[in-house]
Amino acid sequence: MREPAFLRQNKDKWLEYERMLFQENHEQLDPDRLAELYIQLTDDLAYARTFYPKSQTVRYLNGLAARTHLAIYKNKKEKKNRILSFWTTELPLIYRQAHKYMFYAFVFFTFSFLIGTLLAVHEDEFLRLVLSDGYVDMTIENIENGDPMGVYKESPSLPMFLRIAYNNIQVSFMAFALGIFLSVGTIWVLFQNGLMLGSFLTLFHKYGMISDALPVIYIHGTLELSAIVIAGGAGFMLGNSILFPGTFSRRQSIQKAANLGVKIIFGLIPIFLLAAFLESYITRLTEMPLALKLVIIILSLVFVVWYYVIYPITISREAKYMEANL
């Protein structure tokens, strides 16, 4: 059978499968129907691999079969394990799908940071434009008073924690939600934050305080900036779903990306809360030993790399291995 005929013959069936699989609550699906669905999909996949091995149809059916397997697997879980499985399985698999978008966000954020740094080095007015006159003057005053990191001691810890946590969660949500505008809104959020970071660090560099500032800033900045980049990745995923819907209708593609993106942002909330806690209660302890600062930074970086990069790759490979050996 030629591939176009194969597609026409099975298109309606596969679309029905998609509607079932991409509904929010898999627990409401009939397990017997899911098992039947999985058998039919694997038959179609085997046929496609045999007769159209290099076709996009193979990739499409393989993804559909893998998701069917995951739906069956989730239905076997008891409800009391739902929260645990979300953090240990579902969310990391979503991060794996978003890796290339997270990489795009990282590259663009880094590019914006470099632009902010270069412009701030050569133009004092640009530095004040980005950070505001009041903030620059306050920081210069703190440096002259021998307390360059005094900005982190300006307000009581609890109000500072609440304000920072709210602001960071809001920024991450905007980085994601504005991706609906073909990713342009996400680019703007990342661009703003990259410029601000580059300008902020340049200010300390101009006064010869960069070596003192970096260990303090990255106590909380390692988690905070990483989370913003990941949220930007969710925004790029949303924008890409509009531009390149693939085998889905554009509406289905947007719904899928939005669902995954919301879960990504929800998964970042604990990171933003921890970053806000560090900034409000720990960063202000500017006189703590450098070794302790480095321990916090290194542990934060190791966690980010492991949970958001290494672990998702590992668990994705395990899921594919299980699917291939069923």
End-to-end CA distance of the chain: 27
d(CA 248, CA 236): 18
Q: What is the pLDDT of residue 269?
A: 95
Q: How large is the greatest C-alpha to C-alpha distance in the chain, in angstroms? A: 81
Look up the pTM and report it.
Answer: 0.75
Q: What is the pLDDT of residue 260?
A: 93
Tokens, residue 28: 């409401």
Q: Which of 12-26, 104-118, 298-312 has the lowest mean pLDDT?
A: 12-26
Q: What is the pLDDT of residues 87-132, one digit of tens each?
A: 998 899 999 999 999 999 999 999 999 999 999 998 888 988 998 8
Q: Is residue 78 scored above 50 in pLDDT?
A: no
Q: Is residue 28 scored above 70 in pLDDT?
A: no
Q: What is the pLDDT of residue 48?
A: 82
d(CA 205, CA 212): 10
DSSP 137: H
Q: What is the pLDDT of residues 291-300, one digit of tens each?
A: 999 999 999 9
How far is the CA of 225 from the CAs of 196, 217, 276, in angstroms? 12, 11, 12
Averaged pLDDT, 173-179: 96
Contacts of 66 (CB under 8 A, 6+ apart): 319, 320, 323
DSSP 180: G
Q: How far is CA 224 from the centre of its chain?
A: 12
Q: What is the pLDDT of residue 22?
A: 66
d(CA 309, CA 279): 24
- For 183, left (φ over 0), alpha (ψ -120 to 50), or beta? left
Q: Which of 64-78, 160-174, 210-224, 308-322 has the lowest mean pLDDT?
A: 64-78
In terms of Cα–Cα distance, which of 24, 26, 83, 42 is closest to 256?
24
**Residue the block writes with tokens 């709210």:** 166
Kindly indicate the confidence band of residue 27, based on its pLDDT and cuts at 50, 70 and 90: low
**Sequence-ordered alpha helix ranges (H) in the chain:** 3-21, 31-51, 56-75, 82-85, 91-97, 99-122, 124-131, 133-144, 157-177, 184-206, 210-243, 250-277, 290-305, 311-324
Averaged pLDDT, 154-174: 92
Q: What average pLDDT does the chain have?
A: 86
Q: Which of 51-55, 162-166, 263-267 has the lowest mean pLDDT?
A: 51-55
Q: Is residue 263 scored above 80 in pLDDT?
A: yes
178 contacts 235 by C-beta, under 8 angstroms:
yes
Q: What is the pLDDT of residue 325?
A: 56
d(CA 174, CA 169): 9
What is the number of residues in the chain? 326
Tokens, residue 240: 């890409």
d(CA 90, CA 113): 32
- The angle subtended at Cα 111 by Cα 161 and Cα 218, nearest 5°, is 30
Q: What is the pLDDT of residue 306?
A: 97
